């Protein structure tokens, strides 16, 4: 019997599309499939993670196979956007070739640069696997590297591959991952911990959430490999409470992995043991700072402490602790599968591999983007992102791009050709950060942007050290004067003086980076600050003003 | 016992292993202002007044919370550090309600001393006049949050020396405040032993004896250090 053509509908079930109604859409699709009768067996409807173009959700991808019984592949895929539950029958009809599909405008072009220029490495399973099914994840190769590593490799060999890959921490600071692993592994014998930092709090950043919601088994596998490489038997994933769906799926994935013997005692028949637990944050941005995060895991107030000693030397309960970000750990399985050298062949000299960005703000295509390091900001913002909606001109109506959240800075449009890597962004007074890219159009006022981020820092300062606790409050009040156009040139001087002091003397990275949004906008948009200054000497004399009023 | 040799402002000093940079700075005879640090309590590095510059990297590190290492070279009095220190003291004064003239600790206040030491005679930052509370519910003591600089010495002495952990910090950022028990009136916290150590370690007039009026607070700031060394070395003052 000739195999009937197979159809697979992948419905995005990540937070972005869920907020646009993807759950109702999926239910409608399942109901519509039941109406198909005998043909229903050939149609698979599966919830998957993020399909990238979050701004136009809910998204559904339709995969066809050639009818020779092979698995549906991405080769012949159609992607539909902004679907309503009412359109479910039409979509199914179009997919099965029996009728007219949804409006043409809802059909997305997979060859569009938004999709074509992406290089999925961390996100390779994102939008492909069912995040709630370990069987589906296993079928797509999850845990294969963990099993192989436990059988074939020594911890040194694993660390060697990670060092060869040139992977650097994706949480923002860009510390070489292999070096960090070595530091933890080479501490004197005793207990060790591995911690995943999933306290993604930057405004406009949702990379880690997408990984957790779309492919949690990849993270668990990466963490297990990391634990094996540094000799840890206990680990924690610290997730912010604002990510309920991510927490739910991660907990489910952990239960499934334990059930399959991929976590716990004697993993996959080896002598390696690992217990992983979820710790949920309580709403403090500062808990993304590693020492505050560790304090929070220990049940203490989430405040940073001075380093050194670094967590790699003295972390959880004073034991050597490896802390990596979600994206860093999710890169590990691919690195071990393809080899460190393969990973190092992607990207630039100093920044290897790919980086996931969350593209948002005044940009046509909002969503999740993974590109090789070294891709220019212009490519990301204008070619992939499509520039500011409705705007024209060489810079696509872009005034600036904000990277790195409240710790980063604004990069002006004339520097859009900068390649995205750790050093280039730092040289511009911004930083890679975790990967939030907020695009700003021509109508954005830069002192207001700076004030927005300073207000964030004021609200999120833990209050431990005085420059951050009291200095940010003073900075915010100074910025108020600029936004309300009642500043003086002396205020401008004071603003810069205090920015320097807060940056130099704050205890942790948050306070040290809190002035960055101000400093970078001062660097590139100083005229906007100057225009907000009312210098009495530069004002026209009062009688001249009055005269103008009279003559008018 | 091994010894580390390092230089402070160009002066060579030797300190035992485990000593902090602050110990080394003091061994070199240099006076460094401190507020959150107190001998006998664990360091927190919060007031940022004892920041020193590492000559090799130019990084600033809190002397109280950084271990002295062999061959380190630190600078304590660069113009930049002095500038930052003064700004930090100004920020302290601007964020609370510090009115020396009728404060119990006037003349015996570390914040006042530090202001004199760094040459601060006014604040370039506007005063915030925060709306804070006074808790006089304890029979012997009171806490006036207007004068609190959040050094957390009271929190640490109560937890580390007295073992009662009456005090803690609530809220975030400029909303931070010291709380008794589960944010209860101090007098209702049964864990409080009324030992008075928090009164002794408080650098300002925030925690005081109700008997004291303007300028009358006399705090025994050595008490925490003496107790700790007594316990660790089993040596008491009268022995």
Q: How far apart are CA A397 and CA A160, in angstroms?
A: 45
Q: Do A459 and B45 touch (CB under 8 A)?
A: no
Q: Which helix (H) or strand (E) holds A436?
A: strand A436-441
Look up the CATH number of the domain holding residue A188: 3.40.50.11540
| A170, A237: one domain | yes
Closest C-alpha to B150, from B95, B84, B223, B82: B95
3-state SS, residue B110: helix
Q: How far apart are CA A71 and CA A543, in angstroms?
A: 83
When divided into structural domains, chain B yields a total of 2
- Global ipTM: 0.96
B132 belongs to a structural domain: yes
For chain B, say whether A495 makes contact (Cβ under 8 Å).
no
* pLDDT value for A548: 53
Eight-state DSSP code of residue A339: -
A259 belongs to a structural domain: yes
CA distances from A247 to A18, A243, A523 (A): 15, 6, 40
* pLDDT value for A536: 55
Of B21, B43, B77, which residue is a domain's last?
A: B77
* pLDDT value for A538: 58
From chain B, the residues in CB contact with A306 under 8 A are 43, 45, 61-62, 65-66
| B104, B219: one domain | yes
* pLDDT value for A535: 63
Nearest-Cα residue of chain A relative to residue B169: A301
Residue whose token pair is 């069987």: A135
B180 belongs to a structural domain: yes
Question: How crowded is the C-beta side of A331, counted as CA atoms within 13 Å?
Answer: 32
B106 belongs to a structural domain: yes
| A216, A292: one domain | yes
| A363, A339: one domain | no
Look up the CATH number of the domain holding residue A48: 3.40.30.10
- Which residues 82-101 of B have a C-beta within 8 angstroms of A? 83-84, 87-88, 91-92, 94-95
* pLDDT value for A401: 95
Residue A498: other Cβ atoms inside 10 A: 22
For chain A, say whether B126 makes contact (Cβ under 8 Å).
yes
Residue B189 near residue B141 (C-beta atoms within 8 A): no
> Which tokens hold the place of A91?
């979509």
* pLDDT value for A492: 95
| B163, B225: one domain | yes
* pLDDT value for A430: 87
| B177, B110: one domain | yes
- Least CB–CB distance from B176: residue in A459, A463, A471: A463
CA distances from A508 to A304, A407, A450 (A): 6, 12, 20
| A18, A50: one domain | yes
| B101, B56: one domain | no
Q: For residue A220, is the peptide bond before it cis, meaning its omega torsion is within 30 degrees of 0? A: no
Residue A189 burial (10 A CB sphere; 0-12, 13-18, 19+): exposed
Across B10-14, average pLDDT: 96
A116 belongs to a structural domain: no
Q: How many angstroms away from the CA of A187 is the closest CA of chain B?
A: 18
B30 belongs to a structural domain: yes
From chain B, the residues in CB contact with A477 under 8 A are 126
Residue B188: other Cβ atoms inside 10 A: 12
Q: Do A308 and B66 touch (CB under 8 A)?
A: yes
For chain A, say whether B132 makes contact (Cβ under 8 Å).
no
| A138, A232: one domain | yes
> Which tokens hold the place of A115?
């999709």
Q: Do A501 and B126 touch (CB under 8 A)?
A: no
Task: Supply φ then ψ for residue A48, to 5 degrees.
Answer: -130, 180
| B108, B209: one domain | yes
| A500, A462: one domain | yes
| B158, B215: one domain | yes
A490 belongs to a structural domain: yes
| A147, A18: one domain | no
| A363, A337: one domain | no
For chain A, say whether B61 makes contact (Cβ under 8 Å).
yes
Query: In which domain, by residue range, is A63 found?
Result: 7-110
| B68, B132: one domain | no
- Least CB–CB distance from A463: residue in B44, B92, B172: B172
Of B32, B51, B77, which residue is a domain's last?
A: B77
| A329, A417: one domain | no
- Residue A277 pairs in a beta bridge with A236
| B229, B185: one domain | yes
Look up the CATH number of the domain holding residue A421: 3.10.20.600
Of A310, A344, A378, which residue is a domain's last?
A: A344
A126 belongs to a structural domain: no
Closest C-alpha to A437, from A461, A407, A404, A397: A404
Q: How far apart are CA B203 and CA A443, in angstroms?
A: 50
Q: Do B173 and A469 touch (CB under 8 A)?
A: yes
For chain B, say whether A498 makes contact (Cβ under 8 Å).
yes
- Residue A478 pairs in a beta bridge with none
Eight-state DSSP code of residue A36: T
Query: In which domain, by residue range, is B210 found?
Result: 89-233
Residue B27 near residue B46 (C-beta atoms within 8 A): no
Residue A451 burial (10 A CB sphere; 0-12, 13-18, 19+): buried
Of B77, B102, B125, which residue is a domain's last?
A: B77
| A163, A285: one domain | yes
B84 belongs to a structural domain: no
A261 belongs to a structural domain: yes
Q: How far apart are CA B213 and CA B105, in angstroms?
A: 9
| B73, B190: one domain | no
Look up the CATH number of the domain holding residue B229: 3.30.70.20
From chain A, the residues in CB contact with B60 under 8 A are 504-505
What's chain A's Rg over C-alpha atoms? 26
- Least CB–CB distance from A474: residue in B66, B91, B149: B91
* pLDDT value for A552: 45
Q: What is the pLDDT along chain A (552 residues), one digit of tens a residue?
A: 445 568 899 999 999 999 999 999 999 999 999 988 877 888 999 999 999 999 998 999 999 875 554 555 555 788 999 999 999 999 988 888 777 778 888 999 989 999 999 999 999 999 999 999 999 999 999 999 999 999 999 999 999 999 999 999 998 889 999 999 999 999 999 999 999 999 999 988 999 999 999 999 999 999 999 999 999 999 999 999 999 999 999 999 999 999 999 999 999 999 999 999 999 999 999 999 999 999 999 999 999 999 999 999 999 999 999 999 999 999 999 999 999 999 999 999 999 999 999 999 999 999 999 999 999 999 999 999 999 998 888 888 999 999 988 899 999 999 999 999 999 999 998 888 889 999 999 999 999 999 999 999 999 999 999 999 999 999 999 999 999 999 999 999 999 999 999 999 999 999 999 999 999 999 999 999 999 987 655 544 545 545 454 444
| B101, B196: one domain | yes
Q: Do A470 and B91 touch (CB under 8 A)?
A: yes
Nearest-Cα residue of chain A relative to residue B82: A501
B239 belongs to a structural domain: no
Look up the CATH number of the domain holding residue A464: 1.20.1440.230
Nearest-Cα residue of chain B relative to residue A285: B172
Q: How far apart are CA A16 and CA A22, in angstroms?
A: 9
B82 belongs to a structural domain: no
When divided into structural domains, chain A yields a total of 4
From chain A, the residues in CB contact with B80 under 8 A are 504
3-state SS, residue A380: helix
* pLDDT value for A483: 96
Of A284, A315, A344, which residue is a domain's last?
A: A344
| B11, B109: one domain | no
From chain B, the residues in CB contact with A472 under 8 A are 173
Q: Do A470 and B95 touch (CB under 8 A)?
A: yes
Look up the CATH number of the domain holding residue B73: 3.10.20.740
Among B45, B148, B151, B172, pick the best mutation site for testing chain A contact (most A Cβ within 10 A).
B172
| A325, A241: one domain | yes
Question: How crowded is the C-beta side of A346, counted as CA atoms within 13 Å?
Answer: 24
| B96, B36: one domain | no
For chain B, say whether A504 makes contact (Cβ under 8 Å).
yes
Q: Which residues of B18-36 are buried (b: 16+ CB within 10 A; e: fewer)?
A: ebbbbbbbbbbebebbbbb
A412 belongs to a structural domain: yes
| A206, A329: one domain | yes
Residue A344 near residue A352 (C-beta atoms within 8 A): yes
Q: Do A308 and B168 touch (CB under 8 A)?
A: no
A538 belongs to a structural domain: no
A543 belongs to a structural domain: no
- Least CB–CB distance from A466: residue in B61, B91, B172: B91
Residue B122 burial (10 A CB sphere; 0-12, 13-18, 19+): exposed
Q: How far apart are CA A152 and CA A162, in angstroms?
A: 16
Across B78-101, average pLDDT: 97
* pLDDT value for A211: 97
Q: Do A471 and B91 touch (CB under 8 A)?
A: yes
B22 belongs to a structural domain: yes
């Amino acid at each position: 019997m000739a195999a009937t053509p197979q159809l697979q509908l992948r419905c995005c079930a990540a937070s972005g599309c869920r907020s646009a109604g993807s759950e109702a859409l999926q239910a409608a699709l399942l109901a519509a499939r039941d109406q198909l009768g005998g043909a229903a067996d050939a149609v698979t409807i599966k919830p998957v993670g993020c399909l990238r173009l979050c701004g136009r959700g809910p998204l559904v991808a339709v995969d066809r196979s050639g009818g020779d019984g092979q698995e549906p592949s991405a080769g012949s895929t159609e992607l539909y956007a902004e679907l309503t539950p009412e359109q479910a029958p039409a979509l199914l009809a179009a997919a099965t070739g029996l009728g007219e599909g949804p409006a043409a405008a809802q059909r997305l072009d997979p060859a569009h640069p938004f999709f074509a220029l992406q290089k999925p490495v961390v996100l390779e399973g994102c939008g492909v696997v069912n995040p709630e099914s370990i069987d589906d994840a296993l079928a797509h190769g999850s845990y294969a590297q963990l099993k192989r590593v436990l059988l074939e490799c020594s911890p040194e060999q694993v660390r060697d591959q990670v060092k060869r890959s040139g992977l650097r921490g994706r949480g923002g600071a860009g510390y070489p991952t292999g070096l960090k692993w070595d530091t933890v592994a080479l501490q004197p014998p005793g207990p060790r911990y591995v911690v995943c930092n999933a306290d993604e709090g930057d405004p406009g950043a949702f990379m880690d959430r997408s990984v957790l919601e779309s492919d949690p088994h990849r993270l668990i596998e990466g963490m297990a490999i990391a634990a094996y490489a540094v000799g840890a038997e206990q680990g924690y994933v610290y997730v912010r409470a604002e990510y309920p769906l991510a927490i739910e799926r991660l907990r489910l994935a952990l239960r499934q992995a334990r059930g399959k013997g991929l976590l716990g005692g004697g993993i996959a028949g080896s002598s390696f043991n690992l217990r992983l637990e979820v710790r949920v944050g309580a709403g403090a941005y500062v808990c993304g700072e590693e020492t505050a995060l560790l304090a929070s895991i220990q049940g203490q107030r989430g405040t940073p402490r001075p380093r050194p000693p670094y967590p790699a030397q003295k972390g959880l309960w004073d034991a050597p602790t490896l802390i990596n970000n979600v994206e860093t750990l999710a890169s590990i399985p691919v690195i071990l599968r393809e080899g460190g050298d393969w990973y190092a062949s992607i990207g630039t000299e100093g920044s290897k591999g790919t980086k996931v960005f969350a593209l948002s703000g005044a940009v046509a295509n909002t969503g999740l983007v993974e590109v090789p390091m070294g891709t220019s900001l212009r490519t990301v913002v204008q070619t992939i992102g499509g520039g500011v909606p409705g705007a024209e001109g060489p810079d696509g109506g872009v005034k600036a791009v904000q990277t790195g959240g409240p710790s980063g800075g604004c990069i002006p449009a004339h520097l859009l050709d900068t390649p995205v890597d750790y050093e280039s962004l730092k040289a511009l007074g911004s930083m890679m950060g975790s990967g939030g890219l907020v695009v700003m159009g021509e109508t954005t006022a830069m002192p207001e942007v700076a004030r927005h981020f300073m207000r964030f820092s004021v609200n999120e300062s833990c209050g431990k050290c005085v420059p951050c606790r009291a200095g940010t409050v003073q900075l915010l009040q100074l910025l108020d004067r600029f936004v309300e156009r009642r500043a003086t040139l002396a205020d401008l001087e004071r603003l810069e003086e205090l920015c320097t002091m807060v940056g130099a003397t704050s205890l942790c990275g948050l306070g040290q980076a809190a002035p960055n949004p101000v400093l970078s906008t001062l660097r590139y948009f100083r005229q906007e600050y100057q225009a907000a200054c009312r210098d009495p000497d530069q004002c026209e004399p009062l009688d001249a003003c009055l005269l103008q009023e009279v003559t008018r | 016992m091994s010894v580390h040799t390092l230089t402070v402002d160009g002066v060579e000093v030797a300190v035992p292993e485990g000593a902090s940079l602050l110990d080394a700075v003091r061994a070199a005879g240099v006076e460094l202002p401190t507020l959150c640090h107190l001998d006998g309590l664990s360091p927190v590095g919060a007031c940022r007044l004892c920041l020193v510059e590492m000559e090799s990297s130019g990084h600033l590190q809190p002397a109280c919370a950084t271990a002295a290492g062999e061959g380190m070279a630190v600078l304590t009095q660069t113009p930049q550090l002095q500038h930052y220190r003064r700004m930090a003291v100004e920020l302290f004064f601007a964020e609370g309600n510090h009115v020396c003239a009728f404060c119990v600790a006037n003349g015996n206040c570390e914040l006042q001393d530090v202001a004199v030491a760094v040459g601060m005679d006014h604040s370039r930052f506007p005063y915030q006049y925060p709306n804070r509370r006074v808790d006089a519910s304890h029979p012997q003591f009171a806490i006036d949050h207007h004068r609190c600089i959040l050094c957390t010495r009271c929190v640490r002495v109560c937890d580390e020396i007295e073992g009662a952990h009456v005090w803690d910090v609530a809220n975030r950022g400029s909303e931070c405040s010291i709380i008794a028990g589960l944010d209860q009136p101090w007098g209702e916290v049964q864990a409080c032993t009324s030992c008075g150590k928090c009164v002794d370690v408080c650098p300002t007039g925030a925690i005081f004896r109700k008997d004291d009026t303007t300028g009358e607070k006399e705090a025994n700031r050595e008490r925490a250090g003496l107790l700790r060394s007594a316990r660790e070395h089993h040596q008491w003052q009268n022995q």
